[in-house]
């Protein structure tokens, strides 16, 4: 995830985000949407209450990141739109439900 801010020249006002900046903000936003949903799905699939709680706490952390990128998009004049998980996350959630979170964690850590 690329978290660079638009470049500033000296102490002047920050320049308007470019189309490339907005594209990067959207990609980061989608990554956080996916993170929140993936951790929720893993929590639901996890039978161990402690591990499930850890996944829920990770989802809460991702929500803060999600809000940051939504704010960045709005500040750039772009509507973040309704958040929805990617197909990859939906498939991983299905696999976690079917085979358990431990079966998909190697794929999650490779994301």
In the DSSP assignment, the letter for residue 76 is T
Q: DSSP string spanning 21-64? A: HHHHHHHHHHHHHHHHHHHHHHHHH--SHHHHHHHHHHHHHHHH
pLDDT of residue 6: 57
pLDDT in tens, 86-97: 999 999 999 999
pLDDT > 90? residue 5: no
pTM: 0.82
List Cβ neighbours of 78 (8 Å cut-off, separation of 6 or more).
22, 25, 26
pLDDT of residue 7: 55
pLDDT in tens, 26-76: 999 999 999 999 999 999 999 999 999 999 999 999 999 999 999 999 999
């Amino acid at each position: 995830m690329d978290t660079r801010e638009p470049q500033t020249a000296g102490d002047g006002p920050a320049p308007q985000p470019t189309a490339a900046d907005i594209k990067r903000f959207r990609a980061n936003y989608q990554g956080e949407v996916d993170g929140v949903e993936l951790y929720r799905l893993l929590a639901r699939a996890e039978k161990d209450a402690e591990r499930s709680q850890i996944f829920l706490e990770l989802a809460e952390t991702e929500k803060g990141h999600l809000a940051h990128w939504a704010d960045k998009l709005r500040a750039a004049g772009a509507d973040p739109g309704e958040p929805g998980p990617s197909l990859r996350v939906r498939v991983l959630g299905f696999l976690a439900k079917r085979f358990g979170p431990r079966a998909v964690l190697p794929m999650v850590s490779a994301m």
